[in-house]
Amino acid sequence: MNLNENLKKQVKKAIYDFDMIQDWETILLWISWWKDSMFLWYILNEVRKTLKNKFEIRWVYIFKEFLINCDIEFEEKRKYFEEVLKIPLEKININLPEDSKLNDWVWQNCQRCAYARRIAMMKLCKKYNATKIVLWHHMDDIVVTTFMNMITGRKLKIMPPVNKMSKWNISFIRPLAYLRESDIQKFVTQNNIPYSPCSCPVWEDTMRNKIKKEIIRANEKIIPNYTKNIFWSLIKDFKEKYKNCDYSM
């Protein structure tokens, strides 16, 4: 089986395993220019052609006014989406309220950014009557996030493939949960999918990046299937304990 078919198979399996998408739902997909995001729009478009469930996708680009250096080449990418892919792309500008405590988190921009994006997306769900928000986190992201929660939060809490938010009646879903980052990188390179490298001004100094480089990648060199084995142990535990619970991040 070639890489294209294998990745589509794994995405379909994740969708079915966790009952991610139901018939005639509207789902919101937030686009960035990073490889994982660009891969997600491509693979989800391909997979939905063969899924039994029929659903609508709303494509949204969120412009972060509080981290303007992260947003580059928007017009070029918008043209690619709308003229080449024939996908309408909505642009949303967001900022944090002036009285938000998150404005004081000088070295915690990841949390600021994620918080502001998700609030914006959940509000858009009401506008479009959407019930799901699709995120592009893959297997490596799930393992790294679990390590972060253990090391900095002193708790065993994974980034689940399906994250139910009862308060908003919305779920976050991660169809790429079964995929390795290396396979995604290989795919976008082989298929000439345009993407921009991460331009976040604080990325190199984040705890996420340090764990990824100094713990995950270091151990992968000496322990076969290191990341996969951790991931599947987490997923087994998640299925047994949390699948039917509100497991909000």
**pLDDT for residue 112:** 67
Question: What residues have CB less than 8 Å from 25, skipping those under 6 apart?
Answer: 53, 55, 56, 130, 131, 132
**pLDDT for residue 165:** 84
More confident residue, 225 or 76: 225
Instruction: Give the tens place of pLDDT for each residue, 16-51.
Output: 999 999 998 999 987 777 899 889 988 998 898 888
Report the range out of 80-89, 134-143, 167-176 with the highest average pLDDT.
134-143
Question: What residues have CB less than 8 Å from 188, skipping those under 6 apart?
Answer: 35, 38, 39, 195
Report the range out of 27-31, 107-111, 124-128, 142-146 with the highest average pLDDT.
142-146
Instruction: Give the tens place of pLDDT for each residue, 60-88.
Output: 887 765 555 555 567 777 777 788 777 77
Q: What is the mean pLDDT of residues 11-19?
A: 93
The percentage of residues in the chain with a pLDDT greater than 70, rounded to a whole number, is 80
**pLDDT for residue 43:** 92
Please count the CA atoms within 13 angstroms of the CA of 66 that sit on its side-chain side.
21
**pLDDT for residue 195:** 81
Q: How far is CA 1 from CA 9, 10, 86, 161, 225, in A?
A: 10, 12, 29, 25, 21
Please name each of the domains of the chain with its CATH number. Answer: 3-241 (3.40.50.620)
Mean of all residue pLDDT scores within the chain: 82
To the nearest 10°, the Cα dihedral for 157, 130, 32, 113?
A: -50
**Whether pLDDT at 244 is above 60:** no
**Whether pLDDT at 126 is above 60:** yes
